[in-house]
Amino acid sequence: MVFYLFMLLLLLGSTLVFYSLSPYYAALGLMISSLFGCVVLTSLGLTFLALLLLLIYMGGMLVVFVYSSALSADRYPMVSNLGEVVLLFLLLSFWVLFIFEDFLESSTLFNLLSPLNDLSSLSVLYDYGGAYLLVGGLALLVVLIVALVVSYGSSLLALRSL
C-alpha cells in the first residue's frame, strides 16, 4: 500500500512539472518525481538504478536546468498555481483508480525489498553489451557537439545577463 503512495507522489511530481506556471516549480516537480522514483526503485530492490538516477538526474541535469531557467526565465514571473496542480493531480489519480480498481486490489506481484536484482543484468552491459556503451558514448558526443554548435557564437544566441 505504501508502494502505491510512492507512485502517487511520483504522479504529483510529474503534474507539477507540466502544469505549473513558473519554471522553478517545474524544477521542484522534477526533483520530487526523481526522488520518489528512486524510492520506488529501491523498494523494488533495484538499488543501483536508484542511485544512478539520483546522481545523474538531480546532481547533473537538474542543476543545469535550474541555471538555464534562471538565465532565461521571465523578469516578472507569475508565481504559482499550486492549488490547480494539486486539484489536477487528485483528478488524475482518482481517474486511474477507478479504471484500474480490480488490478489494484489484487495481490501485488512485486518482489519487494530483495536487494541486488539489477546487478546481474547490469553486468551484461559491460560484457556482451559493450557495443551499447560504445554507441551510447558516441551518441553523447554528438549531443555535446550539437549543443555547442547551437549555442555558439553571435550575440543573438549568447546567454544574457540578468
Q: Which three cell numbers stand for residue 10?
A: 511520483
According to CB under 8 A, which one of 95, 136, 137, 158 is a site residue for another protein? Answer: 136
According to CB under 8 A, which one of 4, 67, 95, 132 is a site residue for another protein? Answer: 132
According to CB under 8 A, which one of 149, 159, 160, 161 is a site residue for another protein? Answer: 149
Q: Give the angle subtended at the CA of 132 by the CAs of 127 and 136, to the nearest 5°.
A: 135
User: H/E element holding 137?
Assistant: helix 130-150
Q: Which stretch binds another protein (CB under 8 A): 8-16, 45-53, 69-77, 148-156?
A: 148-156
Q: How far is 6 from 151, CA to CA, in rounded Å?
A: 38
According to CB under 8 A, which one of 61, 104, 139, 158 is a site residue for another protein? Answer: 139
Q: How far is 116 from 121, CA to CA, in rounded Å?
A: 10
Q: Which residues bind another protein (CB under 8 A)?
A: 132, 135-136, 138-139, 142-143, 145-146, 149-150, 153-154, 156-157
